[in-house]
Every structure is written in C-alpha cells, then in structure tokens.
C-alpha cells in the first residue's frame, strides 16, 4: 500500500477519530486506528465498543490497502510533522509503515485488519433531522448537568426525545436538571434514546455552526450521526428507564424575577469567590422588590454583590450552590433570564420570553 496525503488533513482526521480510542488500556487491537486507502480516499476508524468515529479524507492512493496502527503513537508522530505539505505512507509486506515527509522519516509496526472487531451496523430506517448548529447548541445547553457517579448509571447519559416537530434533551444529576429544545426539520413520530455523555461530548466537538442538516439514526442499542465525511456511532444506555423528569419540575411559583443575564453572571461569580473552596459553594440570595443581594461567607471573609431585578411576588431569602447556577448561565446567550421560585425555594431558570431552555435547581438549604 502507498498513499500521499495532505499533512494537515491527516492530522485533523486523526485528532477527531482518536477520541474514540479506549481511555484505558484494553487490548492491542482496540488501541489501534484502522486505516483503509482506496478510490483516492483515506478512511480512519477507531472504537472502544461504546463509541466509534470514522472520518474520510482525500488522498492520492498509489496502491490501495489497509492496516491497523497504534493510535496514540501514530497521532503523536503525525502531530509533530503535520505542518509539512505532503506526507507519504508506504506499507511493506512485513506490515511496517514507512511515514516520510520533507526531512522526516519513521518506520512503525502495523497489524492486520482481520484482527479488528466488526462494528455493529445501525439501521437507517428510524431517524430525525435537525440543523447542525441547533444540534450543537442543544447538546451544549444540557451536557454539564449529567451525573458523574455510578449510583444511577442511566443518569450518566442525556435523554434525547424527538416527537412531532421538536427535539428535546434532558440531563440531571439529582441536584439540578437541564432541558433544552430545538425544532426538527421534519415532523416525526416518537423517537427516544439515552446517550452516554462522553459520546455526546465528542459529537459536539465534531459539529459546526452551519445551517446544514444532520440526520440522527436511532435503533434499540445504537445511535448514528452522519456529518460531512465523518460518522459517529454510540452505544446507548439501555439498562433501565430514564426518570420521569416532568414530575420533578414545579408548576406553581411564589416569586418570579427578571434579571439581566450578564450583570447577574458577573455579580454571582464575584460574590461566590469566598465560598469557592467549600463543597457546596454556597451563595445566599436576598431578593427584594428592585434588587437581589448575593453573598457568600467563609473562614476567610464575606463577599457581597447587588444586582437590579424586576420582581413579581414575595420577597425571598434562599441559598444555592453557585456552580449550579453559573453552569446554566455560561451556556446561555441572551439578554435577560427569568428565575421562578417554588415552595421550599426550588428554582426554575429560563430565558425570558423563550421556552427553548429550562434549568431546575434545588436549594442547598432553607434559610429562615
């Protein structure tokens, strides 16, 4: 096998595909990238059996062929020579790959592709379609709220549901819940899946801000997303049902306020400095008719901030983990947010005059 390929294109492809390599050492085979050269294209593939990524780039294929190559080693070497305009790769009969470019040459031992596990095919019968930019935003607005412990494995994923003309995504760790919605390109019947957070995180990195449409194929155990020259396949979380999140979100509120998002975010970050080292990162909100006072206290001192609000309802004093609120604010691009407080001070945070996002946050404790 012999091919000539653009160095930057190869580096970009390897960088994306390598995200599906196993995090821990599993087996020599799975730690390799599968490389296939044919029809003037070079296709790279990696999987850890839960996540698979494939990317195809243009190449001058002098002699077609395929091989397995140690992924991390290959990625590091190509990263160092990627600035060269062209990279030549030639595989000999002993499965040794000679990689050469201007002033650089490396010989790397490869392996037979026959030893690589087959990837489970995903049916293209059931899918929903969404604008790529919307899909990227949908994922980014909820991913931070996914559980990280193993107490409830199903909560380590994001619940995605496409129904009618809307796709929604929900994540929760038991202390806060994030929900986002986006329009679908076409109306569909009910399609749902719980997708591991790692798989969605890697998908978000592959997505652009374009107006192109993306098809997401879903079947019982797998999800597949096809982008331009890139395919991602994720094994779904199927051990148990996702929680009935609609029952968690309050419907009746005692206090509602509107606040400028930028001012609130700045004041919250400043006021929470004192409690940042504390496990609960506690901030106290004192909410009155025209102002919200934000404060935190620790053994090192006290910090206080004040921000103007528009209030409807009774005055309120409550406390939250500042990180839980700040995580929501960081992924929002808007002028004003609405905060609604229910009985026992649970809080629902949304963008003012929009139903595309909803964040539900439990208080740390009630302060009398």
Last residue of a domain, one of 115, 146, 173: 115
Residue 59 inside a domain? The answer is: yes
Q: Is it the case that residue 366 has pLDDT exceeding 60? A: no
Same domain assignment for residues 109 and 136: no
CATH number at residue 306: 3.10.150.10
Reported as a single tens digit per residue, the pLDDT across 254-276 is 999 999 999 999 999 999 999 98
Reported as a single tens digit per residue, the pLDDT across 231-251 is 999 999 998 899 999 999 999
Same domain assignment for residues 196 and 308: no
Residue 366 inside a domain? The answer is: no
Same domain assignment for residues 319 and 242: no
Same domain assignment for residues 235 and 300: no
Structure confidence at residue 115 (pLDDT): 85
Residue 240, both tokens:
């148990």
User: At CA 359, angle to CA 357 and CA 365, rounded to 5?
Assistant: 170
Same domain assignment for residues 106 and 148: no
Reported as a single tens digit per residue, the pLDDT across 158-201 is 999 999 999 999 999 999 999 999 999 999 999 999 999 999 99
- The CA distance from 255 to 84, in Å, is 61
Residue 341 inside a domain? The answer is: yes
Residue 96 inside a domain? The answer is: yes
Residue 221 inside a domain? The answer is: yes
Same domain assignment for residues 272 and 346: yes
Last residue of a domain, one of 228, 247, 266: 247
CA count, 13 A, side-chain hemisphere, 256:
10
Q: How many domains in the chain? A: 3
Least confident of 19-33, 218-232, 311-325, 338-352: 19-33
Structure confidence at residue 357 (pLDDT): 98
Same domain assignment for residues 67 and 136: no
Q: What average pLDDT is seen over the chain?
A: 95
Same domain assignment for residues 21 and 105: yes
- The CA distance from 179 to 321, in Å, is 19
Same domain assignment for residues 83 and 157: no
Same domain assignment for residues 89 and 72: yes
307-331 mean pLDDT: 97
Last residue of a domain, one of 115, 150, 169: 115
Residue 368 inside a domain? The answer is: no
Phi and psi torsions of 342, nearest 5°: -100, -175
- The CA distance from 117 to 155, in Å, is 29
Reported as a single tens digit per residue, the pLDDT across 199-220 is 999 999 999 999 999 999 999 8
Q: Is it the case that residue 368 has pLDDT exceeding 50? A: no
Residue 324 inside a domain? The answer is: yes
Q: Which residue has the higher pLDDT, 24 or 210?
A: 210
- Is there a contact between 364 and 279 (Cβ–Cβ < 8 Å)? no
Structure confidence at residue 323 (pLDDT): 95
**Total-model pTM:** 0.93
Residue 367 inside a domain? The answer is: no
- The CA distance from 267 to 261, in Å, is 10
Same domain assignment for residues 133 and 242: yes
User: Confidence band (pLDDT; 50, 70, 90) for 103?
Assistant: confident
Q: Is it the case that residue 95 has pLDDT exceeding 50? A: yes
Percent of the chain with pLDDT over 70: 99
Q: How would you class 77 by CB atoms within 10 Å of its CB: exposed for 0-12, middle for 13-18, buried for 19 or more?
A: middle
Domain that holds residue 278: 255-361
Same domain assignment for residues 90 and 137: no
Q: Is it the case that residue 298 has pLDDT exceeding 70? A: yes
Q: What is the CA radius of gyration of the chain?
A: 25
Q: Is it the case that residue 46 has pLDDT exceeding 50? A: yes
Q: How would you class 251 by CB atoms within 10 Å of its CB: exposed for 0-12, middle for 13-18, buried for 19 or more?
A: exposed
- The CA distance from 241 to 168, in Å, is 17
User: Confidence band (pLDDT; 50, 70, 90) for 299?
Assistant: confident
Structure confidence at residue 146 (pLDDT): 98
User: Confidence band (pLDDT; 50, 70, 90) for 229?
Assistant: very high
């Amino acid at each position: 096998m012999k091919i000539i390929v653009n160095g930057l294109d190869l580096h970009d492809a390897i960088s994306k595909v390598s995200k599906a390599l196993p995090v821990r050492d599993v087996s020599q085979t799975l730690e390799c990238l599968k490389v296939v050269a044919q029809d003037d294209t070079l296709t790279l593939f990696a999987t850890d059996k839960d996540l698979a990524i494939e990317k195809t780039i243009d190449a001058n294929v002098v002699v077609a062929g395929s091989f397995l190559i140690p992924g991390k080693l290959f990625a590091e070497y190509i990263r160092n020579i990627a600035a060269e305009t062209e990279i030549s790769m030639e595989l000999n009969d002993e499965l040794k790959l000679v990689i050469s470019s201007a002033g650089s040459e490396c010989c790397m031992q490869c392996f037979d592709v026959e030893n690589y596990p087959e990837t489970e095919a995903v049916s293209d019968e059931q899918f929903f379609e969404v604008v790529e930019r919307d899909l990227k935003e949908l994922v980014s607005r909820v991913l931070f709220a996914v559980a990280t412990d193993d107490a409830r494995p199903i909560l380590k994923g994001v619940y995605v549901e496409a129904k009618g003309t809307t796709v929604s995504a929900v994540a929760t760790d038991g202390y806060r819940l994030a929900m986002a919605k986006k329009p679908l390109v076409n109306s569909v019947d009910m399609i749902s899946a719980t997708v591991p957070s790692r798989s969605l995180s890697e998908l978000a990195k592959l997505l652009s801000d374009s107006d192109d449409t993306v098809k997401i194929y879903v079947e019982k155990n797998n999800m597949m997303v096809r982008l331009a020259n890139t395919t991602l396949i994720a094994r779904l979380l199927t051990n148990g049902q996702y929680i009935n999140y609609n029952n968690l979100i309050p419907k009746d509120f005692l206090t509602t306020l509107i606040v400028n998002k930028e001012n609130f975010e700045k004041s919250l970050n400043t006021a929470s400095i004192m409690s940042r080292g504390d496990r609960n990162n506690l901030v106290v909100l004192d909410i009155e008719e025209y102002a919200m006072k934000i404060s935190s206290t620790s053994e090192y001192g006290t910090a206080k901030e004040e921000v103007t609000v528009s209030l409807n309802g009774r005055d309120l004093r409550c406390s939250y983990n500042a990180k839980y609120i700040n995580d929501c604010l960081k992924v929002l691009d808007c002028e004003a947010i609405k905060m609604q407080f229910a009985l026992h001070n649970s809080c629902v945070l949304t963008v003012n005059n929009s139903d595309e996002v909803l964040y539900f946050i439990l208080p740390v404790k009630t302060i009398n």
